Amino acid sequence: MISKFIFNNQYLFDELPESDKDLLIRVMKTKNYRKNEAIFTDGTKPNGIYYLKEGKIKKYKVDNDGREQIIYIYSSGEFFGYSAILSQESYGDTTSTLENSVISFISKDSFLEIIDQSPVFSRLLLKSLSHEFSVMANLIAVLSHRTVRERAALSLLILHDKYKPNNLQEEEVLISLSRVDLANMVGTARETLARILNDFKQEKLIRSEGRKIQILNFKQLIHIANLY
């Protein structure tokens, strides 16, 4: 059930033929970003797309009161920022780094040229956009009707997936996210989140040390998130 709330487009690069991968690699310009550094902002015109080689990126909106609502988190191996170019619109959200990151940039002209040359890449992008729309629709539908406790449980399950390297066992995954960012993802005040996380600790659902959180009881968190 949790899979319908998780967006991941790592397959975009992995499933490309080697010749198409070479096209992308040749036009990539790689840059190191510091933690909390903006990549692009809501309302600006896109001039290219991005490929996250290392790190974590948050995608978020800011309301009229200046409060962040984190929409999603990208992890290494994912492309982002391409929907604005394909729709010929401005960016509809803001992205910034959650940790020191390495990001490759592909200019708009190069991106559109590769799409023309690669039917496989075009097909995979369409698949990715459809998947992203489905995930966002599911999240909006669920988060608008769930309690803060339910949203917190769901957010932790989503984050566990985003922070899980391929070579780690489930019980070894550590979610490393500030309480402010986690509260912004859940859509609640930091104080409220702190009380819920403390309850989860008392119930032996999670373990935490500093900003790191480890899930101990997946079955019960799934039950709390009302995903059955």
d(CA 25, CA 189): 42
**Which sign, positive or negative, has the C-alpha torsion 12, 18, 19, 25?**
positive
Query: In the prediction, which pLDDT does 172 show?
Result: 79
Query: In the prediction, which pLDDT does 169 show?
Result: 62
Residue 120's φ and ψ, nearest 5 degrees, are -65, -45
- Specify the domain boundaries for CATH 1.10.10.10 within the chain: 146-224
**Which residues, including other chains, have CB under 8 Å from residue 199's CB and lie 6 or more apart?**
149
- Classify residue 6 by its DSSP letter: -
Fill in the amino acid letter for 131: H
Using 70 as the pLDDT threshold, list the residues of the chain that sit under it. Answer: 1, 166-171, 228
Pick the CATH number of 2-142 from 3.30.2320.50, 3.30.360.10, 3.20.20.220, 2.60.120.10: 2.60.120.10
**Which residues, including other chains, have CB under 8 Å from residue 48's CB and lie 6 or more apart?**
81, 85, 105, 106, 107, 108, 110, 111
Query: In the prediction, which pLDDT does 166 show?
Result: 66
- Specify the domain boundaries for CATH 2.60.120.10 within the chain: 2-142
pLDDT in tens, 113-132: 999 999 999 999 999 999 98
This prediction's pTM: 0.90
d(CA 182, CA 187): 8
| CATH architecture of the domain formed by 146-224 | Orthogonal Bundle (1.10)
Query: In the prediction, which pLDDT does 60 show?
Result: 95
- The answer to whether the CB of 207 falls within 8 A of the CB of 214 is yes
Q: Could you please report the per-residue DSSP string of 96-155?
A: EESSSEEEEEEEHHHHHHHHHH-HHHHHHHHHHHHHHHHHHHHHHHHHTTS-HHHHHHHH
pLDDT in tens, 176-189: 999 999 999 999 99
Residue 61's φ and ψ, nearest 5 degrees, are -115, 150
Query: In the prediction, which pLDDT does 110 show?
Result: 97
d(CA 145, CA 154): 13
Query: In the prediction, which pLDDT does 4 show?
Result: 83
